[in-house]
Amino acid sequence: MVLEVDEKTKTGETELDLEIVLLEEKEEERTPLPPYTTDAMLRDANAILKIPAKEAMKLAQDLFESGLTTYHRTDSTRVSDVGLRIAKEYLGDDFTPREWFMEGAHECIRPTRPIPKDTLQRLIQEGVIQVEGITWRHLALYDLIFRRFMASQCKPYRIKTARYLIRFNGREVEEERILYAEGKAVELYKWSVWVKKELPVGKIRVKAEVRTVPKAPLFTQSDIVQLMKERGIGRPSTYATIVDRLFIRNYVIEKNGRVIPTKRGIEVYRYLASNYGSFVSEERTRLLEEKMDAIERGELDYYKALKELYEEIKQIT
């Protein structure tokens, strides 16, 4: 049993007395996750396959150019009629059509054929499908794209959850766990749910493992891409490039899968933040991207936007 709680223990204390109460158990259906957009694909490639963002984009580019997947620079989860037909052919009775409609110039990232990874690998080896330079890393990313897309077109899957009340050291915390999950969507894309063991109910004494947590969280490349998406920084075509630039300029290094700022990175950040804070902030980046989107939609004159930006920059030169 693994149970994580945010609690300071007394010096030298290696055991805790817990009282665990089962509050509720229930079964429910859940809709599978939507197919991949660029940011979601980069996050999974890094978190699941341990592939850096830059390499993941290169692999996706190769898969696209080989005709194995659709365009990989997209922020849309929309599924075309062709995509629905491909999913239906593969899934059969497990198929439940979902367009996952979202506006965008492209559709989601998906396979172009109803062919799973192992079959694709055999067809390439036999020369039935003729593509060059496809490595096992290409196939690993293809498999991830295939599974996520097919899962998104499956019937809802069933889960059983349990909600517990945990008392210790005069405190009370609640924890909800997924005890099991079943359905074709979970079989295809198991990373959509985290199944844990049920907790023993009653009073128990457990060993405590004390962990030191850094004041500032250390992010993976996957976390950074997710933050950029959430905060409106970058576009599908630039997520990997932005992360890669941090490494190229020696602003960060990677250790044990975590991105760590270097002395140079910290000094550059401090200098820019103290001297040009309003021009390099996340808010400024987000607003500029909103203006670019408005120009692209014809809602804002590009000359007016450039003039406003020029006048602002003149104030610091």
Average pLDDT on 293-306 reads: 89
| pLDDT at residue 151 in the model | 97
How do residues 229-240 score in pLDDT, each as one tens digit? 888 888 888 889
Task: Report percent pLDDT > 70 for the chain.
Answer: 93
Is 164 noted as a catalytic residue in this protein? no
How do residues 207-219 score in pLDDT, each as one tens digit? 877 666 667 788 9
Task: Look at phi and psi of residue 150 and say left if phi exceeds 0, alpha if psi is from -120 to 50, else beta.
Answer: alpha
Determine the Cα angle at 98 with ends 94 and 99, to 5°.
Answer: 150
Residue found under tokens 């929309």: 78
Residue 34 to residue 99: CA distance in whole angstroms? 9
Domain boundaries, the chain: 15-31+156-207, 221-314
How do residues 81-122 score in pLDDT, each as one tens digit? 999 999 999 999 999 999 987 666 689 999 999 999 999 999
Average pLDDT on 305-314 reads: 86
**Length of the chain, in residues:** 317
Average pLDDT on 136-140 reads: 97
Band of residue 11 on the pLDDT scale cut at 50, 70, 90: very low
Average pLDDT on 290-294 reads: 86
**120-134, 154-168, 184-198, 272-286, range with the lowest pLDDT:** 272-286
Phi and psi at residue 63, in whole multiples of 5°? Answer: -65, -40
pTM of the model: 0.82
| pLDDT at residue 13 in the model | 57
Alpha carbons within 13 A on the beta-carbon side of 255: 6
Residue 199 has pLDDT above 60, yes or no: yes
11 Cα distance to chain centroid:
38
Q: Could you say which of 71, 142, 276, 310 is catalytic?
A: 71
How do residues 28-58 score in pLDDT, each as one tens digit? 999 999 999 999 999 999 999 999 999 999 9
Architecture of domain 221-314: Orthogonal Bundle (1.10)
Mean pLDDT of the chain, nearest integer: 89
Determine the topology of domain 15-31+156-207 in CATH.
Answer: EV matrix protein fold (2.60.510)
> Is 83 strand, coil or helix?
helix
